[in-house]
Amino acid sequence: MDQDSTTPYSPANRLRPRSPNIQIYRPQLTSVLSIVNRISGVLLSVCALGLVIWLIAAAAGPQAYAVVREGIASWAGRAVLFVATFAFFMHLCGSLRHLIWDTVHGFSLRAIYLSGWIVFAASMVLTVAAWVTSAWIRR
Amino acid sequence: MSRQERETFVMIIRSPEQVPRFTMLKRFPLPRNFGVSRNSRIARGRAWPVLAGAVRVKAFDVYRYDPDSPENPRIDTYHVDLDDCGPMVLDALIWIKNKIDPTLTFRRSCREGICGSCSMNIDGTNWLACTRFIDDTDNTAMIYPLANMPIIKDLVGDQTHLFAQYAAIKPWLRTNTPEPARERLQSPQQRSKIDGYYECILCFCCTSGCPSHWWNGDRFLGPAVLLQAWRWLADSRDEATAERLDDMRGTFRLYGCHTILNCTRTCPKGLNPGKAIAETKRMMLEHRD
């Protein structure tokens, strides 16, 4: 809501500015992992549509399935799948951390930071492990 | 390596006192005026000259807003003579007000971290100006008011809404049993349940650092007020537990908390609002009908 520029200026009817929040507040492990958990959740919801497309193609017949399979096997398809795998493990580990918090454990600042870095490291390890395992199975 | 250098690379924060020197980003990668209303946009202000004779000088970027002029908020740069100034950020602000610019406005009172008046955003995190060393700030120190406040003048935010939220939880002892002849007694064990909660000084560093309160501050009570709510829930003498919990039901008042925990990271008294809220959520489960 802006002031009407035709009325004379008066401090009394002036709208107070709001001090900046997200624009200046320093990113910390706490806030970054929170937003990552949310973004990964949104990403996984979108990827669920991809899963449906894949299943519909499988039900529709070999030709449709071949098209989708080609898309997934492409360079871009693999990149999306890799990011989705990471998002999956990030969301899984982050949610487990939230489950532990719901039992009122792990609230010391040290525990918050330790569990935060563990979630991040575990998600990376699990993502790589999932891809290595799948490559090894298809060998 | 000195203590300061070692802290630069610390990954596991143990105490909120640890200054976040090493973070990859100083702020989220967003445009400076992202989602900001037209009258809140910040302009570049003036750079005040260095006083003659000053040897050790440090620059301070300070948020300014003058309600008596039609101009937008701006960032002024001051140069503080460290040899003529006390060790704390509050000392620097008082030095600026005395020696350079008497119009600079901020709240302060006790200068020892117990009144909670001088809470502000220093280098991107909320803290009390009187307990933050100048040496622990960035090379150009950034001084903003507490995040997400309607600004009255310069570093003074309007906390009316926050105190209204505080009043809404009825922060006093509520009983329905007849008053005893002497005071209501408490065992040392019962008394220890409010340790870590009664020390809150209502500086609102936590609430102002909570992204959930930024987006839903009209409905979500925020960490400071919820810590106070838990302080009364945990008090063995209080007899309004059910009413207090009922007052916090609904989607936002309590459950607007998404356990981001910026609150626990920033509390200048080393308290744990995040834990108080988790305790309240658990108590809510135990009292469900």
pLDDT tens profile A80-101: 999 999 999 999 999 999 999 9
Buried b (16+ CB within 10 A) or exposed e, B77-91: ebbbbbeebeebbbb
Q: How far is CA B181 from the centre of its chain?
A: 40
Q: How far is CA B215 from the centre of its chain?
A: 17
Residue A10: predicted pLDDT: 67
The type of residue at A10 is S
CB contact under 8 A, B145 and A19: yes
Residues of B in contact with A107 (CB under 8 A): 264, 272, 274-275, 278
Segments of chain B scoring below 50 in pLDDT: 1-3, 5
Contact B64, B72 (CB under 8 A): no
Report the distance separating Cα A110 and Cα A115, nearest Å: 8
CB contact under 8 A, A27 and B28: yes
Which of B7, B11, B13, B280 should one mutate to test binding to chain A, selecting the residue with the greatest count of A CBs within 10 A?
B13
Per-residue CA distances from B283 to A32, A102, B113, B246, B257 (Å): 28, 11, 32, 11, 15
Q: What φ, ψ does residue B147 adopt, rounded to 5°?
A: -65, 145
B125 or A4: which leads in pLDDT: B125
Dihedral sign computed on CA atoms, order B76, B77, B79, B80: positive
Contact A22, B119 (CB under 8 A): no
Q: What is the DSSP letter of B129?
A: G
Residue A138: predicted pLDDT: 86
Q: What φ, ψ does residue B78 adopt, rounded to 5°?
A: -115, 150
- Strand segments (E) across chain A: none
Residue B7: predicted pLDDT: 54
Report the distance separating Cα B49 and Cα B96, nearest Å: 12
- Name the closest residue on chain B to residue A114, using Cα atoms: B12
Q: Which two tokens stand for residue B70?
A: 């039609």
Tokens 């009316």, residue located? B160
- Could you read off the pLDDT of A23-67 as tens digits, one per residue? 999 999 999 999 999 999 999 999 999 999 999 999 999 999 999
Residue B151: predicted pLDDT: 96
Residue A6: predicted pLDDT: 62
The alpha carbon of residue A37 is apart from the nearest alpha carbon of chain B, in Å, by 10
Q: How far is CA A38 from the centre of its chain?
A: 5
Contact A123, B279 (CB under 8 A): no
Q: What is the mean pLDDT of chain A?
A: 92
Residue A14: pLDDT band with limits 50, 70, 90:
confident
Per-residue CA distances from A8 to A5, A11, A13, A87 (Å): 8, 10, 10, 54
Q: Which two tokens stand for residue B255?
A: 């459950």
Report the distance separating Cα B18 and Cα B7, nearest Å: 8
- Strand segments (E) across chain B: 43-47, 57-64, 74-81, 119-122, 125-128, 140-144, 151-153, 156-157
Check if the interface score ipTM surpasses 0.90.
yes
Residue A41: predicted pLDDT: 97
CB contact under 8 A, B265 and A112: yes
